[in-house]
Structure 1
Amino acid sequence: MENQTVNEGKTAAIVSYLWWIGFIIAYLMNNSKRNAFTGFHLRQALGLNLLSLAASLVSRYVSGTAGAVIAVGALVLWIMGLIGAAQGEEKKVPLLGDQFQDWFKGIA
């Protein structure tokens, strides 16, 4: 990816990982001027936010232990995604990154 594209989209990409409000802000920032780097990280962040929500639901309604395991996994993936955005890399999070890119391809 072009260095200019990464530099222009890095701030919004980092913001996208800051919970739901950060995702919405980054989405709105990217909506006015589309940036492929930001779009990549928006898709990853959305998937991780939904994974965290799933961990919460599993913990509450199924098993606290299973929910905790999913939550810790989501936290590790979130840290990896945030570091990738800060370093200007388009690294998919392990295990689910490909699915996030496919499932949320409508988000640019």
Structure 2
Amino acid sequence: METIQEGKKIATISYITIIGTIIAFTMNSERKNDFAAFHIRQALGIFITFFAFGYIIGYFNSWMITSAFWVFIFVLWMYGFLGALEGKKRLVPIVGPLYQKLFKSKN
């Protein structure tokens, strides 16, 4: 329980733009809080998904596709952000396990 309380601030910061994720990553590099690292991986995955697919979605000239993409990203972000605020390790829907596997450190 104590590690969750210690990592809650870093976990919350990680969801505030990609800059927040980078700041949270550097803040967590010394202490290596497991709860914070979990949420940093989730936030990083959400932002990378946003940039990668956002670039592709930008070529579609359809408000329905664009709107669906924004709603999807917002739901992922809210789910992760609220999990960090509540102190819970909840994987974001659909892609959460992939983010954990891709960004897991070998240490």
Same fold (TM over 0.5): yes
Unpaired runs of 5+ in structure 1? Answer: none
TM-score (ref. length: structure 1):
0.89
The correspondence of residues 57-72 of structure 1 with structure 2, limited to 5 A, is: 57-64=55-62, 65-72=64-71
| Structure 1 partner of 2:44 | 46
| Distance of aligned partners of 1:68 and 1:55 in 2 relative to their CA distance in 1, 3 Å threshold | farther
Structure 1 residue 52, shift from structure 2 partner: 1.2
**Aligned partner letter, 1:32:** E
Aligned residues between the structures: 106
d(CA) in 1 for partners of 2:16, 2:53? 17
- Percent of matched pairs sharing the same residue: 37
Structure 1 residue 75, shift from structure 2 partner: 0.6
**Aligned partner letter, 1:47:** G
**Aligned partner letter, 2:78:** I
Quick check: 1:17–1:78 contact (8 Å CA) kept in 2? yes
1:24-68 Cα offsets, whole Å, 9 max, x none, are 110010012110000000110011001111342122224544343
TM-score (ref. length: structure 2):
0.90
SS of match in other structure, 1:106: coil
Quick check: 1:55–1:67 contact (8 Å CA) kept in 2? no
d(CA) in 1 for partners of 2:54, 2:46? 12
SS of match in other structure, 2:104: coil
Q: Which stretches of structure 1, 4 residues or more, deviate above 6 A after TM superposition?
A: none
Quick check: 1:55–1:68 contact (8 Å CA) kept in 2? no
d(CA) in 1 for partners of 2:60, 2:101? 28
| Distance of aligned partners of 1:36 and 1:87 in 2 relative to their CA distance in 1, 3 Å threshold | same
| Structure 2 partner of 1:78 | 77
d(CA) in 2 for partners of 1:21, 1:41? 14
The correspondence of residues 1-108 of structure 1 with structure 2, limited to 5 A, is: 3-64=1-62, 65-106=64-105
